[in-house]
Structure 1
Amino acid sequence: MLSRLARPVLPIKVSSRTSPSRPATASATEPSPFSPHSKMADTLVLRGTMRGHFDVVTAIAAPIDNSDMIVSSSRDKSVLVWQLTKDAPAAAVDGSGGGSSYGVPRRRLTGHSHFVQDVVLSSDGQFALSGSWDGDLRLWDLSTGVTTRRFTGHTKDVLSVAFSVDNRQIVSASRDRTIKLWNTLGECKYTIQDADAHTNWVSCVRFSPNALSPNIISGSWDRTVKVWNLTNCKLRSTLAGHSGYVNTVAVSPDGSLCASGGKDGVTLLWDLAEGKRLYSLDAGAIIHALCFSPSRYWLCAATQESVKIWDLESKSVVQDLKPEATATKNQMLYCTSLTWSADGSTLFTGYTDGAIRVWEIRY
């Protein structure tokens, strides 16, 4: 069954998710240049709302073939597999409160005993990988909804997970301050916990999609981003500049850039090859998640106040997205996770009220 995970594949996508207190970039086996295609006239409009989770949506992942499905994770301890209807309303099959005009939950994956903090998809879209505050990772066969592997070894909450481009390797980050590299059989091949390791929670971890320079990129509550050589798990560079904890990191589609954000409300852009800071973008509020557009020179940030979209060529805000309401009875309403569809036409945003709000490009 897992042989499907081991074959070479086409590009994987970046997803990004909520900060732990409260992602895979589009790439090919031969990365294409990350060139600007944004049009300032393009705007995002709210297309629909998907309801099925009962608590904060912590992560969203979309398949690279642009098929009509996504997966999401939540503090309700579940992973949902969604069918995107896009037009007609339909009823959910699991009694979660019905569907919406954009998508319905078709399968609820349960087994974790605590918050599910992150979820990503294999590049063929047949498997999902989740990480939870119960300390485990789970590999799910989406055709059956069954856990095919459990990954145990972290001593505290798992905060972030990722697949390598070829799906042969898995990386996880934890509140135990370690990064673990696994194979798909659930065997831990290496644990980063030496003198160069992070000195606080590791909140986010991603693989670089650049096959010529295979890296692991991690962000931590020690206020740093670190770049690790995938071949030997040794430190390549430490990127320092944040004045508060780092919640999230995202890697550009060609693997040349990294963006990081967190408590200080500032997004820092880094040159991964040179290991140096390029510039900063002020979000003005805590940043919970970041993702690059796969089709435009845009960077999106889920913040405590809104979803900000920057054009990286002009370094200006293209749009500031806010939902129809700003609060619920029990909590403030804000975006905690987000990801693009593979073609870059649709932005999926997860919120504290358990809903996924869907935005589409209007040309």
Structure 2
Amino acid sequence: MTDNLNYRGQLVGHSGWVTAIATSSESPDMILSSSRDKSVIVWSLTRDDEGNFGIPRKSLRGHNSAVQDVVISSDGQFALSASWDKTLRLWDLSTGNTTRRFVGHTGDVLSVSFSADNRQIVSGSRDKTIKLWNTLGECKFTITEDAHTEWVSCVRFSPNPANPVIVSGSWDKVVKVWELTKCKLRTNHLGHTGYINTVTVSPDGSLCASGGKDGITMLWDLNEGKHLYSLEGKGDDIINALVFSPNRYWLCAATSSCIKIWDLESKSVVDELKPEFAFVGKKSQPPQCISLAWSADGQTLFGGYTDNIIRVWTVAVLLVLGGIILFVDIGSWNSGILGVFIVTGLLCLSWKWFNIVVGCIIMVVGIFYIIMHFVGATPSPSMSAVPNNSSTTNLNPGQTGAQYTNPDMDHQPSMTQNYN
């Protein structure tokens, strides 16, 4: 069984580059996006077959310049935005109103993040500072000791409450890990040869990944404070954004040429997403993906582009059953969309907008029928759905996360997880 991503559609509504995308487990049919058009859009996901994956529900306006980052609180009630107007804003998503403005930076604010308990906020700016805030809009601390010497391009809290740290990346080519309780530097991660655009933390808080101008993705162990390994890209492929999958051992990288899906167990690229663009001349540069986000269930990937469009992919699985190859388009367990196809192109079974429990029962019966009809034999207990040379991923209806273990103990930490 192998996983791939299928293009599903797009979200159209911004009039500037889509700089950040945020999703929430509390509201699976909603996403947020920020843009250089000075707005944050709240989207309702419709998952239409015609290519429109969603519609704009609200446009949150108030910033006077480009909005560079947006995040959602863990309860799905509030959003934080960071802008080139040197401020942050806290938004009540039920009303679409600004509840707090955060004033204190002297340069464009490039990144913002909520702590796991939603009580603390961290921001990074072109003024080279990192600031910690409470939700009342009060700056509680500005990191000056061991601070970055260039723009702070990205800041992220670890989601692990047992290891409360902040990770920051900068144009000074350094990834820094900070103790949250004392706001003191814990680790300097050195190795990048160009400016850093992005840092991201794994869902369990054990790993950090960073990338930027040099086109190399570096993986860091946050528990032991060491470099694990690097994922090499093309020499001229700048990394714009990184995101870990919530339920697979994948790291997704938005580069200047494509979106790469890395399998961290094999350290290989399992997929490259290169959408077709209209009206791109021979001498013009195609749009780039500059922002990424996974749905909370790990079935849908959103990419924000410099042509102002959000493009959407969903996970599809290839199953090998008794010599028959089935293509299963899972979509999202919340969407109620499932399709089963034979790879030759013959549609065997297809159901859409169905009750997921009934649909899964039908799917099992349908697969059994296909085996009986085409193979002409009763499946034996030794029949395997997974080729010997393939990694396995368990996808169970209703399961919100998946366990995965990284056996490569020499290069990276044990990562047995059950993400809820």
Verify the 8 A CA contact 1:249 1:290 in the aligned structure 2: yes
Correspondence for 1:32:
none
The secondary structure found in structure 1 opposite 2:252 is strand
Asked if residue 153 in structure 1 is aligned to residue 104 in structure 2, the reply is yes
Asked if residue 232 in structure 1 is aligned to residue 182 in structure 2, the reply is yes
Classify 1:214/1:49 alpha carbon distance in 2 versus 1 (closer, same or farther; 3 Å): same
Superposed, 1:1-363 pairs within 5 Å as: 41-65=2-26, 67-87=28-48, 101-194=52-145, 196-284=146-234, 285-325=237-277, 328=280, 332-363=286-317
Q: Please report how far the alpha carbon of residue 66 of structure 1 lies from its aligned counterpart in structure 2 after TM superposition.
A: 5.0
Correspondence for 1:25:
none
Verify the 8 A CA contact 2:28 2:295 in the aligned structure 1: no
The secondary structure found in structure 2 opposite 1:42 is strand
User: Within 2, Cα distance between the matches of 1:262 and 1:201?
Assistant: 13
Question: Could you tell me the TM-score, scaled by structure 2's length?
Answer: 0.73
User: Runs of 5+ in structure 1 lacking a partner?
Assistant: 1-38, 90-99
User: What's the RMSD between the two structures over aligned residues?
Assistant: 1.3
Letter aligned with residue 347 of structure 1: L
User: Within 1, Cα distance between the matches of 2:301 and 2:279?
Assistant: 21
Verify the 8 A CA contact 1:204 1:219 in the aligned structure 2: yes
Aligned length: 313
Letter aligned with residue 224 of structure 2: E
Over residues 78-110 of structure 1, what are the superposed CA-to-partner deviations in whole Å (9 max), with x where a residue is unaligned? Answer: 000000001266xxxxxxxxxx62100010011
Verify the 8 A CA contact 2:199 2:209 in the aligned structure 1: yes
Q: Please report how far the alpha carbon of residue 126 of structure 1 lies from its aligned counterpart in structure 2 after TM superposition.
A: 1.2
Letter aligned with residue 199 of structure 1: T
Classify 1:309/1:66 alpha carbon distance in 2 versus 1 (closer, same or farther; 3 Å): farther
Runs of 4 or more consecutive aligned structure 1 residues displaced over 6 Å after TM superposition? none
User: Within 1, Cα distance between the matches of 2:292 and 2:27?
Assistant: 16
Q: Give the number of the structure whose alpha-carbon radius of gyration is greater.
A: 2
User: Within 2, Cα distance between the matches of 1:326 and 1:237?
Assistant: 45
Verify the 8 A CA contact 2:44 2:54 in the aligned structure 1: yes
Q: Percent identity?
A: 68
Verify the 8 A CA contact 1:327 1:333 in the aligned structure 2: no
Classify 1:327/1:281 alpha carbon distance in 2 versus 1 (closer, same or farther; 3 Å): farther
User: Within 2, Cα distance between the matches of 1:267 and 1:326?
Assistant: 30
Classify 1:205/1:327 alpha carbon distance in 2 versus 1 (closer, same or farther; 3 Å): farther
Q: Relative contact order: is structure 1 or structure 2 higher (C-alpha 8 Å, sep ≥ 6)? A: 1
Verify the 8 A CA contact 1:156 1:174 in the aligned structure 2: yes
Q: Please report how far the alpha carbon of residue 270 of structure 1 lies from its aligned counterpart in structure 2 after TM superposition.
A: 0.4
Verify the 8 A CA contact 1:300 1:309 in the aligned structure 2: yes
Q: Please report how far the alpha carbon of residue 332 of structure 1 lies from its aligned counterpart in structure 2 after TM superposition.
A: 2.9
User: Runs of 5+ in structure 2 lacking a partner?
Assistant: 318-420
Question: Could you tell me the TM-score, scaled by structure 1's length?
Answer: 0.84
